[in-house]
Structures are given as C-alpha cells and as structure tokens.
Chains A and B, each alone.
Chain A
Amino acid sequence: QKEVEQDPGPLSVPEGAIVSLNCTYSNSAFQYFMWYRQYSRKGPELLMYTYSSGNKEDGRFTAQVDKSSKYISLFIRDSQPSDSATYLCAMSANQAGTALIFGKGTTLSVSS
C-alpha cells in the first residue's frame, strides 16, 4: 500500500460547482497536511496548511483532515476556470525540515 493515495482524475466540472479533492494515507504518524496547486509547467504553490484533525477555511477553499480515517479533503466552492490545475496533497510526521510525502496529484478542469 502506497503511503499516500490520490485519484489522478481528470476531474471536469462546470463553473460554479463545488469540487471535492481527496487523499488517503497509511502512516498514522502524519500530523501536518498541505494542499498545493500546480498550473501546467509551473512549480507548485502552497494553498492550504492544516495541523492534525479539523477544518480550515480560506476564502473559497476548505481543507478538512480526519485522522481517524486517515483521510484529507480539499473543497473548492464556486469553482472558477482559473482553478483549473493539478492539486497535490502533501503530508509529514514532524516539523524537522524533512521531506514531505506527496500524492500524485488530481487534475481539475473547470469549464465556463
């Protein structure tokens, strides 16, 4: 079983839809969870950061962590064509500056 599983998609939705992106993981030691957005041929940019379980909201974006199920989600409300990108989940067990474990990314396309 891979450490982090993420459905690669592609996921296609109409403008204005609510999008749900998900990752599952196997390592119960993971405590820090991130979502990155990557546009084509660009570097990933940090979108959301969450520590342990719970929800975090930032504008149209909500990150949710359920450690009991080893499941994290990113919700995008009122999706826009500019949200079309690949979304990568990432996680780590500590803050020691060691490398993150990434999912393979989900490609999202929002049509106008």
Chain B
Amino acid sequence: DGGITQSPKYLFRKEGQNVTLSCEQNLNHDAMYWYRQDPGQGLRLIYYSQIVNDFQKGDIAEGYSVSREKKESFPLTVTSAQKNPTAFYLCASSMSGTDTQYFGPGTRLTVL
C-alpha cells in the first residue's frame, strides 16, 4: 500500500528541546517537502529536497533542519531556535519533473 507516513501523529515538547519529525514515503518519489500549517495561514514551505543528499531552504527555514540520506526518508528537526514551533507539520512528495504533491497525514506539535 503506497503512501506517505508521518510519525508521531501528536508530539509534545518542552521549551528548549529539539524534536525530530519523521516522514517516510514508498512512492519512489524523488522530491520531498516539509510545510507548516497554522490557522488562517495556509501552508508555508520550510524545506524541500529534489534529490538524495541535497535540500533547499523554503520561506520559513529558520529554526529548522533536515537531512536526506535516503530517498524514502526526509526527517525534520525542530530546534530550540524556532520561536513559535506549535503548529501542524505536513510532509509531501512528488515525482521528479512533476509538481503534483502528495501529502502525509501530518504531525501536530505542541510546545508546552
């Protein structure tokens, strides 16, 4: 059953802690993306990767980091430098040369 999985579904973090959100896809897609969604804000791009071992900053990359060591995986770390990390985080992927993105179910991060 092909798709994108994100874990965990809900995540709670204390201020000052780093936390890593998982994103895995078995669609054989080359490109992967991380978005943040806040109420009334739409989707904002954090990072994206078009190929293994390469990634680019999006519009709101400050306070976040990513890695792309495997084609199937694109984890996102929310660092303590991110001032307002409470949000719904969405991972997406697309085939090389296309712009149609498919989304995972999301992770809701709450900072306590």
Contacts and interface: CB of A to CB of B under 8 A. Distances in A.
A97 interface: yes
Nearest to A33: B99
Contact of A100 (B50, B99, B106): B99
Interface residues of A, number: 26
Interface string A90-111: 1010111111101111000000
Given A88-B42, A105-B42, A97 B30 contact: yes
Given A43-B106, A97-B31, A104 B99 contact: no
Given A8-B40, A97-B30, A97-B95, 5 more contacts: A43-B103, A43-B105, A90-B101, A104-B42, A105-B42
Interface of A: 6, 8, 32, 34, 36, 41-46, 49, 88, 90, 92, 94-100, 102-105
